[in-house]
Amino acid sequence: MHFNEISGAVVDSAMKVHSALGPGLLDTVYEACLAYELNQRGFRTASQLPLPVIYRGVRIDLGFRLDILVENLIVVEIKAVDAITPVHQAQLLTYLKLSHKHVGLLMNFNVVHLRDGIRRMVNGDPPAEFPVSSVSSVVKPVSSVSSESSVVKPPPSIAKQAS
C-alpha cells in the first residue's frame, strides 16, 4: 500500500470512531478506539511509542511519545482540544523529523465534523516506493538506537517542559 492509501484508511477509521463517539471525550479514548479500528482493518499499529532525541550519538529520553504509528509509516497525533494551533502542527512536524517518517496526521476529535479537525503534514521528500510488507527491513524502527549509545535521562525540570 502507498502512503496515500494508508492515510486515507486512517482518516476513514477516525471518521467511524468520531461518528460513534462524537466530540467531548479525552484524547486517550479516541486513540485507543482508533488503534482498535485500524487493527480490525488489518493494519499494524503501535501506540504511545517512545520517541527519543539522538544528540551527538547519545539517546536522550525526554518522554516524547507517538500517539499511533501505522504500518511503521504514518504518524498519527490525536488531540481533543478547542482548536488546532500552530504549536500542535509544530509538534507533529517535530515528531516526523525525529522519527524519520514522511507523513503525519494531526486529528482533533473535539469538533462537530471530524473533517474540520484533520491536518495532513509531510516531512521532506517521500522515500522510494516499496510495498508495506517490506517496510520492516527497509525503514529503521523509531526505537532502534545503536547499542553503543548511552541513555541520558534529563533533569526533572526539563522532562516537565517536554510534556
Task: Identify the domain containing residue 18 by its residue range.
Answer: 3-122+145-162
Q: Each residue of 99-141: pLDDT tens digit?
A: 999 999 999 999 999 999 999 999 987 776 544 433 332 333 3
Are 108 and 80 within 8 A, CB to CB? Answer: yes
The confidence band for 159, taking pLDDT boundaries of 50, 70 and 90, is very low
Nearest of 84, 94, 91, 81 to residue 119 by alpha carbon: 84
Q: Is residue 130 part of a domain?
A: no
* pTM of the model as a whole: 0.77
**In this prediction, what percent of the chain has a pLDDT beyond 90?**
72
Residue type, 48: Q
Q: Each residue of 72-90: pLDDT tens digit?
A: 999 999 999 999 999 999 9
Q: Each residue of 25-61: pLDDT tens digit?
A: 999 999 999 999 999 999 999 999 999 999 999 999 9
Q: Is residue 28 part of a domain?
A: yes
**Which ranges in the chain belong to alpha helices (H)?**
3-21, 27-40, 86-99, 135-138, 156-162
Q: Is residue 84 part of a domain?
A: yes
Count the domains in the chain.
1
Higher-scoring residue by pLDDT: 147, 20 = 20
Are 71 and 7 within 8 A, CB to CB? Answer: no
Q: Is residue 140 part of a domain?
A: no
Residue type, 126: P
Which pLDDT score is estimated for 134?
34
- Distance, CA of 121 to CA of 18 (rounded, Å): 21
The angle at the Cα of 145, spanning 135 to 65, to the nearest 5 degrees, equals 75
